[in-house]
Amino acid sequence: MVQATSDADTRLELRTIAVDYNDLPERIIGSGQYDWIDPDVRPYFFPVVGLGIELFETKIVHFGCEMLSEAVDRAIGYDWILARTEHLLAFGAKYPDEQRGHRIIELGSVKIISFCPSVLYLSDSFGKRLLGVNEGRHHQVWKPGARFLAVRRLASST
């Protein structure tokens, strides 16, 4: 087990994604070819807002201890931000096997669904790729195995 330190465990490689804000939300979700999608994964709850195409570098951070959502936000590293809906969807579409080993959570797009703050995640269950909704963000304590997607902008073009 990784001991908690001031720095996140980022042994997983850095990867790039392209977010195409011109695409329809339904197509962005569909491009992931998930075996199961939570019924609450709808553009109404998790909108993708932006213009053009932006490139991002991604990393998956893992702390190896229980973490509050706010602590994750503070600990992801300089010039990195917590992934939003569009980042997680682009990551899931480009790297479909990455979610098979562990749940990957985005904490950058928090929406209230049924009076609960909720975030999206990628996961695997019995060999099926899942796109799900998890209550989280404020006052959420994440288990030691939780992994979070972080991004930083590389370049943009329209």
Q: What is the pLDDT of residues 71-99, one digit of tens each?
A: 898 898 788 999 999 999 999 999 999 99
% of residues, the chain, pLDDT over 90:
37
Mention every residue, 6+ apart, whose C-beta is less than 8 A from residue 106: 82, 83, 84, 85, 87, 88, 119, 120, 121, 148, 149
- Quote the pLDDT of residue 54: 93
Rounded mean pLDDT, 23-27: 80
Positive or negative: CA dihedral 143, 119, 57, 92? positive
7 pLDDT more than 60: no
Instruction: Name the more confident of 4 and 24.
Output: 24
